[in-house]
Amino acid sequence: MAVTLDRQLLDILACPSDDHAPLVTGTPDDPAADALTCTECGRQFPVTDGIPVLLLDEAVEPDRP
């Protein structure tokens, strides 16, 4: 199921890492995933019951080549 957050809320949410980059819905592999992905570091944050879990300990680190 795709993340359905209010556009204004999504516009103000940012990655909690030091770069504080914007977040986009879904993941690179699955745009309909229940997650938010940082546009800078690539961390993926889960969205549980419509609530973004923006904790670095809960984030999925991106695969680095």
Burial of 1 (0-12, 13-18, 19+ CB in 10 A): exposed
pLDDT digits (tens, 9 = 90+) for 2-44: 677 888 988 999 999 998 999 999 999 999 999 999 999 999 9
Q: For position 3, what pLDDT does the model report? A: 74
Q: Specify if 61 maps to a domain.
A: no
- What domain range includes position 17? 7-56
Q: CA 61 to CA 50: how far, in whole Å?
A: 21
Residue 14's CATH number: 2.20.25
pLDDT band at 64 (very low <50, low <70, confident <90, very high): low
In a domain, 65, yes or no: no
Number of domains in the chain: 1
Is 63 inside a domain boundary? no
Q: What's residue 44's pLDDT?
A: 96
Question: Do β-strands 23-25 and 51-52 pair in parallel, antiparallel, or remain unpaired?
Answer: unpaired
The answer to whether position 28 is within a domain reads yes
Measured between alpha carbons, how far is 47 from 35 in angstroms, rounded to an integer?
Answer: 5
Mean of per-residue pLDDT scores for the chain: 90
Global pTM value = 0.89
Residue 2 lies in a domain: no
Residue 32 in domain? yes
pLDDT band at 1 (very low <50, low <70, confident <90, very high): low
Q: Is residue 15 part of a domain?
A: yes
